[in-house]
């Protein structure tokens, strides 16, 4: 039986902690889970902050929320707690300033900042923040993009319609680091997208086409009529080139669609919807035209019938609630 290991990011929060200890505990958590920073509040109020962290192969992912504060990574801290990494910060809420040795930038919601995490910087969030973070080891970034780290900070817009690569990357990371139904993201996909975003733009065309195509499939998974021509048109390429793009990633377009439909059905069956919906309804929600075809493909993929997965998940929830 092939079982899917649930992706389960961990959450840390200052809520309920002694107010006079929150900054120190927040710094300790970030040093261990993400990037070491010095933190202070501007008004003297206690810090309210939370962080969802996940480890994706060699990558560290996070969703950070916090009240108004300032963070600093100075030379002394870098010497004591080097990360040897590149950081990507996707601003979701709260305008911020970023002070670097080449000047000051304002980072607004919908913008991505990429920088060398071992060069000193200062960031301030006067109205609080919500952001996504990716930490990539320098050696892996070098393999991916061809350079050690960005010489200067890179700023990109990831709002819809601005930069398709940045938009898809933000959507993938955001789906992975949330408490409600977190979705794992493939490490190779993240690295392809990062390569396209970086200063050299290595692999930009292939990464962009594949990312846009995959994102379109994921948004239209419930459509049983989803087709290669439809997806190719959305990605701005021919059907033949769409096939080459997926072949280069070690799969085919039909296989990719089928795998995503099966994984979506597996998540539904394991969750509360598995009890509320029939197997036929779950099959329909995931784009399968018939229950028999769905059950056959599901059993071949996971080694057990949909009803068995649902029954085991329901029993596990009953035990936990009891």
212-259 per-position pLDDT tens digit: 888 889 889 999 999 999 999 988 889 999 999 899 888 999 999 999
- The first and second tokens of residue 99, run together, are 């002070």
Quote the distance between the C-alpha of residue 27 and its chain's center. 23
261-295 per-position pLDDT tens digit: 999 999 899 888 778 889 999 999 999 999 999 99
Evaluate whether 209 touches 233 at the Cβ level (below 8 Å).
no
| DSSP H/E element including 210 | helix 204-219
| Residue 318, number of CB atoms within 10 A of its CB | 9
164-206 per-position pLDDT tens digit: 788 889 999 999 999 888 887 888 888 888 887 766 555 556 7
pTM value surpassing 0.85: no
Query: What DSSP string runs through 157-169?
Result: E-STTT-HHHHHH
Helix axes 253-270, 239-248, angle to 10 degrees: 60
Which domains, from first to last, does the chain contain? 9-200 (2.60.120.10), 203-322 (1.10.10.60)
Evaluate whether 53 touches 10 at the Cβ level (below 8 Å).
yes
Span of 47-51, 122-126, 276-280 with lowest mean pLDDT: 276-280
């Amino acid at each position: 039986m092939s079982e899917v290991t649930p992706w389960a990011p961990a959450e840390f929060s200052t809520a309920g902690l002694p107010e006079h200890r929150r900054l120190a505990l927040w710094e300790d958590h970030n040093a261990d889970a993400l990037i070491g920073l010095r933190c202070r509040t501007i008004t003297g109020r206690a810090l309210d902050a939370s962080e969802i962290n996940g480890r994706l192969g060699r990558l560290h992912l996070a969703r950070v929320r916090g009240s108004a504060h300032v963070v600093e990574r100075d030379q002394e801290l870098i010497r004591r707690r080097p990360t040897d990494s590149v950081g990507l910060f996707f601003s979701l809420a709260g305008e911020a300033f970023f002070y670097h040795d080449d000047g000051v930038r304002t980072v607004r919601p919908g913008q991505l900042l990429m920088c060398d995490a071992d060069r000193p910087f200062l960031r301030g969030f006067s109205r609080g923040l919500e952001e996504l973070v990716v930490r990539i080891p320098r050696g892996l970034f070098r393999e991916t993009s061809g350079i050690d780290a960005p010489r200067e900070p890179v700023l990109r817009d990831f709002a819809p319609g601005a930069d398709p690569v940045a938009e898809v990357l933000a959507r993938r990371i955001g789906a992975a680091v949330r408490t409600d139904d977190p979705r794992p993201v493939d490490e190779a996909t993240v690295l392809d997208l990062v390569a396209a975003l970086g200063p050299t733009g290595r692999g930009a065309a292939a990464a962009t086409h594949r990312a846009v195509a995959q994102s379109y499939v994921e948004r239209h998974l419930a459509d049983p009529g989803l087709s290669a021509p439809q997806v190719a048109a959305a990605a701005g390429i021919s059907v033949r080139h769409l096939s080459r793009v997926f072949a280069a990633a070690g799969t085919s377009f039909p296989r990719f669609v089928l795998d995503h439909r099966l994984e979506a059905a597996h998540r539904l069956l394991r969750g509360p919807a598995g009890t509320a919906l029939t197997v036929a309804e779950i099959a329909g929600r995931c784009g399968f035209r018939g229950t028999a075809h769905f059950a056959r493909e599901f059993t071949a993929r996971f080694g057990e019938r949909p009803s068995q997965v649902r029954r085991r998940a329901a029993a596990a929830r009953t035990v936990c609630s009891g």
